[in-house]
Amino acid sequence: MKSPLLYFDHAATTPTDPAVLEAMLPYFGGRFGNASSAHGAGREAIKAVDEAREAVAKAIGAEIHEIYFTSGGTESDNWAIEGIAEAYPDKKHLISSKIEHPAVLRSLERLEKRGYEITYLTPDASGRVDPLHAVKAMREDTLLVSLMLANNETGVIQPVREIFLEAKSRGILTHTDAVQAVGAIPVDVKVLGADLLSLSAHKFYGPKGVGALFVRKGIKIRGFLLGGEQERGLRGGTYNTPAIVGLGAAISLAASTIEERGKKLALLKEYFLTKLSERLPFVKRNGGEPALPATVNLLFYGVKNTDLLAALDREGIAASAGSACASGSVEPSHVLTAMGLSPSEVRSSLRFSFGKDNTTEEVDRAVDCLVEKVNRLRGDKDLFLPIEQGSIES
Ligand code: PLP
């Protein structure tokens, strides 16, 4: 009999929390009103949307009217970058990094095609961008710094606050893709000095296809979806009330348990790394601390990540190698490449991301399986590596 799924891919997505689902269900049923309608059913729906907006604002230290609902992280990122460029056409230089999510990178590329100049910061070997490099790149004509708060492949937390404070002192706008961070670590837009911030519900036990963009009061941004007057005329389209309610419920739940959950997950990650290092040589951690409590990226020397991923999948273990593209195949990671890994090291790396319901017993089973599969895939290959690379380091 096949054992139950061991899911260690929470950075890709999380299951919807039963309490979140319960909060959403009435809005698929009796409370189906269009939140823009001027009658009782509409008022019931807009009240729920407003409550969710308040929950999102509270969770990230924002004002209610600074929150705009979107279809998720991708839309929030695209809108932040291209909407700001449209609203402030005089400045044509942006600063970002080589390790951003494609939702940021593709928007930047679109701006490049329109004559914008982008400085892409390179991370160091630990996966972190150097604030000094960011400051050096700032110019008179710099419009925006867009830097992710935590990387989706390594979990490494970026020095966003240091960089944003410097940017703001020079009148440069700031955007952070906080899709991996919100719900995992405390996030406050004032502390970070963020003018714009992207978040997505399905990364913290909310439903897929809903997120938000925070836009600080006073910042201009061009509307993204044209149509109705929803979201103060900036993002048209009938409100997805059930999903928005789910986002509100999920972010409240995450905020109320964030410290405790973070500690539990950090211990679980540590447990995994310790157990694995005791039993498997020639494994190296890609990226260091500070990092998200639950995400870790490992390089298994002498093994192809796609083979290992498939072997684990056959045993019902879910992990991740790079980012899955639309066809389901795996693209070599641009993040690990930017950190200086060789193509073969990139092709030997896997991400494990734990979740609130994972247990040490599950980690034990995963370690047993990993040891067996890695040893089998390595066969009698000789691994000629410097001795210091033969164990897990951070
Ligand atoms: N940004 C980061 C850092 C992500 O990890 C993701 C999702 O993987 C996204 C943006 C896109 O979010 P969504 O799936 O909600 O469009």
Q: How far is the CA of 322 from the centre of ligand 1 (A)?
A: 13
For the chain, residues classed under CATH 3.90.1150.10 are: 6-12+258-383
Q: Does domain 6-12+258-383 match CATH 3.30.465.10? A: no
Q: Which listed residue (64, 165, 267, 325) is catalytic? A: 325
Question: Which atom of ligand 1 lies at the shortest distance from residue 13's CA?
Answer: 8
Question: Which atom of ligand 1 lies at the shortest distance from residue 150's CA?
Answer: 3
- Which residues surround ligand 1 with Cβ inside 6 Å? 72-74, 77, 101, 103, 148, 152, 177, 179-180, 200, 211
Residue range 138-176, pLDDT digits in tens: 999 999 999 999 999 999 999 999 999 999 999 999 999
- Strands 330-331 and 323-324 come out as antiparallel
Distance between CA atoms of residues 198 and 82, nearest Å: 13
Q: Which pLDDT band, with edges at 50, 70 and 90, does 385 fall under?
A: low
| Closest among 109, 193, 197, 108 to 150, alpha carbons compared | 197
For the chain, residues classed under CATH 3.40.640.10 are: 18-254
3 state SS of 10: coil
Question: Of 156, 157, 179, which is best to mutate to test ligand 1, by the most ligand atoms within 8 angstroms of its C-beta?
Answer: 179
pLDDT at 323: 57
pLDDT at 326: 40
Q: Which pLDDT band, with edges at 50, 70 and 90, does 327 fall under?
A: very low
Identify the residue whose C-alpha is closest to ligand 1 atom 9. Answer: 73
Decide: 142 and 135 in contact? Cβ < 8 Å.
Answer: no
Fold of the domain spanning 18-254: Aspartate Aminotransferase; domain 2 (3.40.640)
Q: Give the DSSP per-residue string, 230-287.
A: TGGGTB-S---HHHHHHHHHHHHHHHHHHHHHHHHHHHHHHHHHHHHHHH-SSEEEES
Average pLDDT over residues 256-277: 97
369 is catalytic: no
Average pLDDT across the chain, whole number: 94
Q: pTM, whole model, 2 decimals? A: 0.95
Q: How many residues would you count in the chain?
A: 394
Q: How far is the CA of 81 from the centre of ligand 1 (A)?
A: 15
